Amino acid sequence: MEEKTISFEKHKEIGMISKILNNKLVMMEVKTINSAKNKKEGRKKAEDYHKANKALSLFKSHMENIMFAEYPKQATTRIYYGKRPDDFEE
């Protein structure tokens, strides 16, 4: 039997952290755009947040692939892409 690289509990922890980070990045991007003089300037200033969130999405996709390969009976898309927790809003 093949050894698992990451425990299922660790996947749940990483998934929750990634959802929180995703939420924070989106909030920071929106806040940056809305506080700019105009939307074009705001989007340019917020570009790094957008790029970071795209990289995070790629990470989550890779982690989800690992999870489904190692825990096919337990895995669910909610681990990495489920409802975002709302207890950390600013």
pLDDT class of 90 with cuts at 50, 70, 90: very low
This model's pTM is above 0.85 = no
Q: How many CB atoms lie within 10 A of CB 20?
A: 14
Write out pLDDT tens, residues 11-28.
999 999 999 999 999 999
Q: Residue 49: what pLDDT? A: 94
- Which residues form the domain of 43? 8-81
d(CA 46, CA 4): 38
Residue 90 lies in a domain: no
Residue 62 lies in a domain: yes
Residue 2 lies in a domain: no
Q: Give 89 or 15, the one with higher predicted confidence.
A: 15
Q: Residue 5: what pLDDT? A: 85
Write out pLDDT tens, residues 46-77.
999 999 999 999 999 999 999 999 999 999 99
Q: How many domains does the chain have?
A: 1
Tokens at residue 57, please? 């999405």
Residue 3 lies in a domain: no
Residue 88 lies in a domain: no
